[in-house]
Structure 1
Amino acid sequence: MNRANLVLHAKASIDRGSKSFALASKLFAKETRERAWMLYAWCRQCDDLADGQDHGHGMSTVAAPQRTIAAMRMLTARAMSDQSTGKPAFDAMGVVAQECRIPPKLAQDVIDGFALDAKEWRPQTEDDLYQYCYHVAGAVGCMMAVVMGVSAGDDETLDRACDLGLAFQLSNIARDVAEDNAAGRCYLPKDWLSEMRIAPDHMMDASRREALTELIGRLCDLSERYEASARVGAAQLPFRSRWAVLAAAGIYGDIARAVRRSNGAALDNRVVTSKAAKAAWVVKALGQAVRKPKYVDRSGLWDRPRG
């Protein structure tokens, strides 16, 4: 496929895979929007391969997970070294990598997150939780920042971009506790579960629902802290990119806020945000994009790996 066809393929992927990100991406300038779509297509394809899904739906058992991860690494490395793979999502990643000089390590960091899932890894500590969130979302935030023009050496802005990825993933985990449990997964740190006297194999027992709800609330609180930090970094972006990032932050942040407000009901019914609420954030983010954000110090927040 030539670049134009790769862009069309990527647009179809984001339209099907994430209505929230698809909406926010429309706020980017044309070139940045196309690059964001192509990066999303690669992320979506890797996620689907790792979880036996189709655009995030219908998780199924992957017969040879380690082989799948190895193939993912090989195809990504080939694409990022400007070689055709014959796989549209990977070739799209190659185009973005060449145009924006995305560090290959960031892509491999993302794949490391899928490798953790493939070996049924579970976080023991809160720090482990952040490490996982970095791999599956924080590193993507760093790549998106580079796509939006941030230098790969601008550690301060990349830290804030990583924070937004952490906020997104913490929201996802808070929303999907019951769904993950049904799939045999748990991203709540074992230390947290032990603190609340929740047995990992009986996490959904009615007798532990109040304690589990408290831990989910803790995830939501953390998500808001990282979202607030990320908003500071958005001020370093071009106006259209800043507007898009702030809209995405608000839309995704609403997931965590809705989960907290549900007071445990999110364990029974998946939280979704309405089209009207998403549109409202587009308007609200426009106002935020023209104002200087309130400064939030990163002291006490998790630091992404360097080098």
Structure 2
Amino acid sequence: MSTRELDAAGITDPELRAAYAASKAINARHGRTYFLATRLLPLADRPAVHALYGFARVADDIVDGSLPKAQQTIELLALERTMWDGDQPVLRALADTVRRYRIDRSLFTDFLTSMRMDLHVRDYATYDDLARYVYGSASVIGLQMLPVLGTVSPRDEAEPYAAALGEAFQLTNFLRDVGEDLDRGRVYLPLDELAAFGVDRERLRWARRTGRHDPYVRRALAHMVARTTAIYRRAEPGIAMLRPWSRPCVRTAAKLYRGILDEIVAADYAILNQRAVVPTGQRLRVALPGAAASIGLAAGQNARAWALRLTSRPRSPRNASIGMPGSDSSAVNSQRRISLVE
């Protein structure tokens, strides 16, 4: 991890710096879209995002790995039991992030509850059933992120929008990965809605196996893309509730993930044998305006910080909020430089 990010976040302990670096490496390796959007955050906020992603990925790798189910269950239970002990680098970074940003620990318990569902639940009868899984696997991620991103509105007002955006991201993943999930024996599309279009698990398997275009599958997927698009629209007002320097990151992530839906439509929903991905050039075209906005916001914050220093009396340390997570202090803002290549 960049020493500038760690320095900006005030992370000085060598072991802790190594722990955050390990989390960032996981994010860079597995979360291409997520990682790119993270580059639009202020330097000081990035380590926390990497820590949250790293933990989620460790749990996800357990349930998607090749170990026997009994061993997967044991490992998930061990992860939950030792989550706050910091006995491995990713957990050490997570515990530090939760402490710094005062994130509700119950959100991580809810997350692991959904991860355990992956070990024994292979499909969901209705969307309401699926929604219970999605809350723990994705909506809580949005809620975990809110203290890091910061809000200009009361946080509880922004929470439904953050949860909805996490839901939209997860549903997009389900659509993108429907073929791969089917190979794992899982269907993350509500069975009653599939049935309404004449589709069942066997029909999906047939389309996956033969690679043939199936108009019934196409109509079912089109319905689910439309619903996911509507959830993105429902989540969008929440971006304006974030601190200004966090908005470019979240807006870019939303555009990139919605771009996956656009690719699904462009492929005429023939995605059971090919993964819909946003091309690298297009991802950069989406990200660059966000980078420009982030740089502009950082420059504006720096100019205001200097003006305040020239026109204001210094605040006493007792009243200052310098260095506090989520603070709007000028000292913190002066370090909010943006880099896409660092």
**In which range does the TM-score fall when normalised by the shorter chain?**
0.7 to 0.9
1:67 equivalenced with 2:74 (yes/no) = yes
Per-residue CA distance 1:232-280 (angstroms, 9 max, x = gap):
1111112221110001111111111211221132222111112211111
When residues 72 and 209 of structure 1 are mapped into structure 2, their CA distance, relative to the original with a 3 A threshold, is farther
Between the two structures, name the one with larger relative contact order (CA 8 Å, sep ≥ 6).
Answer: 2
State the secondary structure of the residue aligned to 1:92. helix
Per-residue CA distance 1:165-195 (angstroms, 9 max, x = gap):
1111111111111111111110111111222
Distance 1:64 1:153 in 2: 43
Q: CA deviation at 1:211?
A: 1.4
Q: Is the 1:133–1:169 contact (alpha carbons within 8 Å) kept by the matching residues of 2?
A: yes
When residues 162 and 211 of structure 1 are mapped into structure 2, their CA distance, relative to the original with a 3 A threshold, is same
State the secondary structure of the residue aligned to 1:188. coil
Distance 2:154 2:30 in 1: 31
When residues 222 and 102 of structure 1 are mapped into structure 2, their CA distance, relative to the original with a 3 A threshold, is same
Q: Is the 1:51–1:61 contact (alpha carbons within 8 Å) kept by the matching residues of 2?
A: no
State the secondary structure of the residue aligned to 1:91. helix
Q: CA deviation at 1:109?
A: 1.0
The normalised TM-score by structure 2 is 0.75
Q: Is the 2:40–2:290 contact (alpha carbons within 8 Å) kept by the matching residues of 1?
A: no
- 1:51 alignment partner AA: D
Structure 2 counterpart of 1:214 = 219
The normalised TM-score by structure 1 is 0.83
Unaligned runs of 5+ residues in structure 1 are 53-58, 291-307
Structure 1 counterpart of 2:235 = 230
The number of equivalent residue pairs is: 278
Distance 1:46 1:153 in 2: 31
User: RMSD of aligned C-alpha atoms?
Assistant: 2.3
Structure 1 counterpart of 2:141 = 140
Per-residue CA distance 1:58-78 (angstroms, 9 max, x = gap):
x665452322221121122xx
State the secondary structure of the residue aligned to 1:48. helix
> Matches of residues 1-307 of structure 1 in structure 2 within 5 Å?
2-52=15-65, 62-76=69-83, 79=84, 83-84=85-86, 86-150=87-151, 154-206=155-207, 209-285=214-290
- 1:155 alignment partner AA: D
Q: Is the 2:152–2:242 contact (alpha carbons within 8 Å) kept by the matching residues of 1?
A: no
Distance 1:256 1:288 in 2: 25
Q: CA deviation at 1:160?
A: 0.4
State the secondary structure of the residue aligned to 1:123. coil
- 2:164 alignment partner AA: D
Which is greater in Rg? 2
Structure 1 counterpart of 2:339 = none
